[in-house]
Amino acid sequence: MDAPLNMPAAFIGHGSPMNTLERNRFTDAWRAFGASVPRPRAILMVSAHWYVNATAVTAMARPRTIHDFFGFPQALFDVEYPAPGLPELAEEVADFAQPDHVGADHDGWGLDHGTWSVLVHAFPKADIPVVQLSINALKPPQWHVELGARLARLRESGVLLMGSGNVVHNLRAIDWKQPDAGFDWARRFDEHAREVMTERPGDAASLVAHRDFAMAAPTPEHFLPLLYIAGAAAALGIPARTLVDGYAFGSLSMTSYGIDCACPDADDSLAGSAPLSEDVPADESNI
């Protein structure tokens, strides 16, 4: 059966890779989101962990599972997410991205943990084709919003557009004593981002001017996937809604957003985010 038209879109705050192995209020929300959407023809994922000086899209039939982190239990390195690729989607992405150039990556990347740590919950059968789009580190924030707006048209052919990162992501500020809390500056930025995403997503690039942005995103790669979903929301005229929210270790926001979807409310009785590794400093673990 052909995939339905007008797929939703979503940004997921993925947090620790250990969320892959655990059930908590965040992973339950990811599962609920996956169960609530029509079956996609394919998933196009913009992950924080493919941050390079170019715009590229995976174009292999069988993308490998990349374990791009350090200091975690062997069980996490043993996880495989054997979803197929969809090379023809790479061509469609390149077409919709015009006038910007998108290169086809046939063997350099695959599915990194920003992708599979979420999809193992949202689509656990790993039977939906997955394609990753890199984040071009050379481009300004508004460029990412505009590319997300152009890519929103892919939903009309059954493609689920997703971003994976964290609205607030400052590993140097981690506080092990606050597993489910957020610092004041993290809350201020996260709450302002929510106002923008749910009321005027087309203005999302302006978040970089917020007084707490430098603390919330000392490096931009986890923040930028949000802009793709903001751009899609603006193009569609559908403000985002919060799928789940919360904080981890003071300096991580776990807030997730959906567009044109009906994800059930998260179960607030469940525990919060999975732990980070204490064997390797957080800012060296590549989470």
Task: Give the domain ranges of the chain.
Answer: 9-169+195-211+218-246+253-284
Predicted confidence band of residue 262 (pLDDT cuts 50, 70, 90): confident
- What gap in Å lies between CA 135 and CA 124, rounded to an integer? 25
Q: What's the CATH number of domain 9-169+195-211+218-246+253-284, 3.40.1710.10, 3.40.830.10, 3.20.20.370, 3.40.50.300?
A: 3.40.830.10
> Is 60 exceeded by the pLDDT of residue 211?
yes
Mean per-residue pLDDT of the chain: 92
CA distance 193 to 213: 10
* pLDDT band at 2; cut points 50, 70, 90: low
> Which band of pLDDT confidence, cut at 50, 70 and 90, is reported for residue 274?
low
160 residue type, one letter? L
Q: Which residue has the higher pLDDT, 138 or 272?
A: 138
pLDDT per residue over 92-117, tens digit each? Answer: 999 999 999 999 999 999 999 999 99
**Could you read off the pLDDT of 157-210 as tens digits, one per residue?**
999 999 999 999 999 999 988 999 999 999 999 999 999 999 999 999 999 999
Q: Mean pLDDT, to the nearest integer, of 230-249? A: 96
**pLDDT interval class at 74 (50, 70, 90):** very high
Residue labelled with tokens 């179960």: 267
Q: Phi-psi category of 100—alpha, beta or left, where left has phi over 0 and alpha has psi -120 to 50?
A: beta
How far is the C-alpha of 133 from the C-alpha of 239, rounded, in Å? 23
Contact by Cβ (8 Å): 230, 202: yes
Collapsed DSSP state (helix, strand, coil) of residue 267: coil
At residue 48, φ and ψ (nearest 5 deg) are -60, -20
**Confidence class of residue 270 from pLDDT cuts 50, 70 and 90?**
low
Distance CA 286, CA 49 (A): 8
Task: Please list the residues that pair with 103 across neighbouring strands.
Answer: 56
C-alpha triplet 214, 199, 242: angle, nearest 5°? 75
pLDDT in tens, 32-54: 999 999 999 999 999 999 999 99
Task: Indicate the helix (H) or strand (E) that contains 215.
Answer: helix 213-216
Overall average pLDDT of the 62-82 stretch: 94
- What is the structure's pLDDT at 254? 97
Smallest CA-to-CA distance from 85 within 117, 109, 50 is with 109
Residues 6+ apart with CB under 8 A from 109: 50, 56, 58, 63, 66, 132, 134
| Cα–Cα distances in angstroms (integers) from residue 224 to residues 19, 28, 165, 181, 204, in the given order | 21, 24, 8, 23, 10
Q: What are phi and psi of 159, to 5 degrees?
A: -95, 130
pLDDT class for 1, splitting at 50, 70, 90?
A: very low
Report which DSSP code applies to 27. H
> What one-character-per-residue DSSP string does 238-264 give?
---EEEE--EETBTEE--EEEES--PP
Average pLDDT (230-253) is 96
Whether residue 166 contacts residue 252, with contact meaning beta carbons closer than 8 Å, is answered with yes
Please enumerate in sequence order all residues whose Cβ is within 8 A of that of 52, keeping only pairs 6 or more positions apart, or say none.
134, 135, 136, 137
DSSP code at position 277? P
3-class DSSP state of 55: coil
